Amino acid sequence: MSLRVDAGTARAAMVERQLRNRGISDERVLEAMGRVPRELFVPEAVREHAYEDGALPIGGGQTISQPYIVATICALLGLDGSERVLDVGTGSGYQAAVLAELAAEVVTIERIPELAETARAALATAGYERVDVRVGDGSLGVPERAPFAAIAVAAAAPTIPEALYSQLEDGGRLVVPRGSRWGQELVLVVRAAAGPEERASIPCRFVPLLGEEGFGRS
Ligand code: SAH
C-alpha cells in the first residue's frame, strides 16, 4: 500500500520538477506521464530509482530513457489521441506505454527478444495489453502496419532511416536521435508534399540503433 502511495507522489514530483519546470507544456503529455507507473518498467534492483532524473539500465546493455527525453519525444509528435503510432526500440516498454496514453494504437518493435518479452509482461501488468509488441529490425519499420501518423525512435541513427520515413502518412511526424554513436540531436521530420521538413531539437545521447538502416550489425 505505502509503496503505491510513494510511487504516486514520486511520479507527481517528477512531472512538476523534471518536466513542467523544464518547459514541457503539452498538458496531454504531462497527464500521460503522470499516469504511467514507471516503476513497473524498471528491473526490481533499480526500482527505488524509477522516478530519478536519468536513464536506468534494463539489461542487455540497454536503458530506459530519461523521463524528460520521453516527454520531449512525445511533445514533438504532437499527438491528439486519434493516431496509429510506431515506437522503434521497445526496451522496457515505458515509452510505448506513454504513447498508448496519447494515441489510439501503438505498435512497438525491439530487436532483443528477451527485452520484448519483459516489456510485453510489464505493459500487460500496467494495463496496456493492447500495445502490439514485435521482435525484429525496427530500422526497417513495420510495413504491414503502415502507414503511421507518428514514429518515435529510441535509438541513435546516423541518418534518417528511409524505411521509417516512407511508412509515415502525409503530414506524419518522425522523431529520431540523429548523429554519431556518442552524441546526437533529437530531430523532428515531417512528411510534407514537397519532401521532408526537418526541425532540430535538443542534444541527447541514446544507445545505437543497430540493423539495416542503423549502425549495422556490430
Ligand atoms: N523506449 C525504450 C528505450 C530503450 S533503449 C524505453 O522506454 O525503455 C533503445 C532500444 O532500442 C534498446 O532496447 C535496443 O535493443 C533497441 N534497438 C536498437 N536497435 C534496434 C533495431 N534496429 N530494431 C529494434 N530495436 C532496436
User: Contact at 8 Å (CB) between 204 and 185?
Assistant: yes
**Whole-number Cα distances in Å, 183 to 69, 75, 207, 209, 212:** 14, 21, 9, 13, 20
How far is the centre of ligand 1, averaged over its atoms, from the C-alpha of 113 (Å)?
11
- pLDDT for res 1: 46
From 40, 41, 112, the mutation candidate for ligand 1 (largest count of ligand atoms within 8 A of CB) is 112
Residue extents of the structural domains in the chain: 4-204
Residue 147's nearest CA partner among 129, 165, 161, 135 is 165
Domain 4-204, CATH number (from 3.30.390.10, 3.40.50.800, 3.40.50.150, 3.40.640.10): 3.40.50.150
From 65, 153, 209, the mutation candidate for ligand 1 (largest count of ligand atoms within 8 A of CB) is 209
Q: Whose CA is nearest to atom 11 of ligand 1?
A: 89
- pLDDT for res 5: 63
Q: Residues near 42 by Cβ (< 8 Å), separated by ≥ 6?
A: 49, 50, 56, 58, 64, 92
Question: Which atom of ligand 1 lies at the shortest distance from residue 210's CA?
Answer: 19
Residues of the chain below pLDDT 50: 1, 218
Please state, for a pLDDT cut of 90, what percent of the chain lies above it.
94
- pLDDT for res 2: 56
Q: Whose CA is nearest to atom 16 of ligand 1?
A: 89
| Positions marked catalytic | 65
How far is the centre of ligand 1, averaged over its atoms, from the C-alpha of 94 (Å)?
11
Q: Whose CA is nearest to atom 23 of ligand 1?
A: 138
| Cα dihedral 178/25/54/135 (nearest 10) | -50
- pLDDT for res 217: 67
Q: What are phi and psi of 180, to 5 degrees?
A: -95, 180
- pLDDT for res 4: 61
Q: Give the span between the Cα atoms of 218 and 215, in whole angstroms.
A: 8
- pLDDT for res 25: 97
How far is the centre of ligand 1, averaged over its atoms, from the C-alpha of 112 (Å)?
8
